């Protein structure tokens, strides 16, 4: 299986991150959803420009940030340089063939590792979770959020370099393959499916329209209630939490 190929200058990805950065209610919703599963010394894989990282910093969590791109790491260092609970910013490539040698000093370092919208970018997703397992202490927690449902795959996915979308079952298989005990799984953001279909499948947009994201952000309080009504049984994303 070929190694993950990424663009050094990821214009589409940066545009998407910047659009989502303005969606404060949506980002807070995602943080509030994952934070209860995070404890101790935390590592975020694929921090990007810090859209979710900022909430961990504000919560005074002991956290290390990371990304595969040097320009994002530089931005993270500049943005959070005065944050007392930021441990460090790391350049991490989960597909590095010599991962255990390259990152040997971080073996069994973290109580929690989480990756939001990262694993779908990696062709060998089993390798990615294997390397997360290496970074976790015994009994540590891995949390992964990825896009849901392969039949929703569209122009957005192609432009962002997604290899696939998942269900709880398909992502769960990757967790179990790497000896994680699944303790929680759910779908997230049901109403996001409609916007994804409209802009990605019907209009065939290459990036998320800023106006659409802004409107969605305003309606997040309503969409949170809808997720609860449907018991997180469906959603644009799937979340799985597992223990090492």
Q: Cβ(135)–Cβ(64) under 8 Å?
A: no
Residue 34: CB atoms within 10 A of its CB come to 20
Residue 209 lies in a domain: yes
- Average predicted confidence (pLDDT) for the chain: 92
The pLDDT assigned to 206 comes to 74
> CA-CA distances (angstroms) from residue 229 to 61, 147, 191, 233, 238?
31, 21, 12, 9, 17
Residue 41 lies in a domain: yes
Task: Give the pLDDT band of residue 1 (cuts 50, 70, 90).
Answer: very low
The pLDDT assigned to 42 comes to 98
CA 143 to chain centre: 9
Residue 5 lies in a domain: no
d(CA 141, CA 42): 9
Residue 117 lies in a domain: yes
Domain boundaries, position 101: 11-243
- Over residues 38-57, the mean pLDDT reads 97
d(CA 187, CA 168): 8
Residue 136 lies in a domain: yes
d(CA 219, CA 183): 30
- Over residues 11-16, the mean pLDDT reads 70
The pLDDT assigned to 210 comes to 86
Q: Cβ(209)–Cβ(18) under 8 Å?
A: no
Q: How many domains does the chain have?
A: 1
Residues 132-153: b if buried by 16+ CB within 10 A, e if exposed: bbbbbbeebbbbbbbbbbeebb
Question: Using alpha carbons only, what angle is made at residue 80 by residues 188 and 94, rounded to the nearest 5 degrees?
Answer: 55
50-84 pLDDT per residue, tens: 999 999 999 999 999 999 999 999 999 999 999 99
Q: Cβ(120)–Cβ(237) under 8 Å?
A: no
The pLDDT assigned to 3 comes to 41
Share of the chain above pLDDT 70, in %: 95
Indicate which CATH number applies to the domain containing 199: 3.40.50.150
Question: Using alpha carbons only, what angle is made at residue 119 by residues 139 and 45, rounded to the nearest 5 degrees?
Answer: 60
129-178 pLDDT per residue, tens: 999 999 999 999 999 999 999 999 998 898 889 999 999 999 999 999 99
The pLDDT assigned to 58 comes to 96
Residue 2 lies in a domain: no
CA 146 to chain centre: 6
- Over residues 219-230, the mean pLDDT reads 97
The pLDDT assigned to 9 comes to 53
The pLDDT assigned to 85 comes to 93
d(CA 145, CA 13): 17
Residue 71 lies in a domain: yes
Indicate whether 4 pLDDT > 50.
no
Residue 19 lies in a domain: yes
Q: Cβ(87)–Cβ(76) under 8 Å?
A: no
**Total-model pTM:** 0.93
What are the backbone angles phi and psi of residue 125, rounded to the nearest 5°?
-65, -30
82-134 pLDDT per residue, tens: 999 999 999 999 999 999 999 999 999 999 999 999 999 999 999 999 999 99
């Amino acid at each position: 299986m070929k190694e993950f190929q990424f663009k050094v200058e990821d214009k589409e990805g940066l545009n998407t991150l910047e659009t989502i950065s303005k969606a404060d209610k949506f980002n807070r919703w995602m943080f509030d959803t994952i934070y209860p599963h995070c404890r101790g010394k935390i590592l975020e894989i694929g921090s990007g420009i810090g859209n979710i990282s900022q909430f961990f910093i504000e919560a005074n969590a002991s956290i290390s940030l990371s990304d595969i791109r040097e320009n994002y790491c530089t931005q993270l260092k500049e943005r959070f340089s005065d944050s007392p609970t930021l441990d460090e910013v790391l350049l991490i490539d989960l597909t590095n063939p010599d991962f255990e040698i390259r990152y040997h000093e971080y073996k069994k370092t973290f109580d929690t590792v989480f990756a939001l919208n990262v694993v779908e970018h990696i062709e060998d997703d089993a390798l990615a979770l294997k390397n997360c397992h290496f970074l976790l202490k015994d009994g540590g927690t891995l949390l992964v959020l990825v896009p849901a449902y392969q039949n929703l795959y569209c122009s957005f996915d192609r432009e962002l370099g997604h290899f696939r979308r998942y269900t709880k079952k398909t992502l769960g298989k990757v967790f179990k393959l790497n000896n994680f005990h699944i303790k929680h799984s759910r779908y997230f953001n049901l109403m996001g499916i409609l916007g994804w279909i409209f802009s990605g499948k019907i209009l065939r947009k290459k990036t998320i329209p800023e106006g659409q994201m802004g409107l969605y952000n305003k309606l997040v309080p309503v969409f949170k209630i809808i997720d609860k009504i449907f018991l997180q049984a469906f959603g644009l994303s799937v979340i799985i939490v597992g223990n090492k």
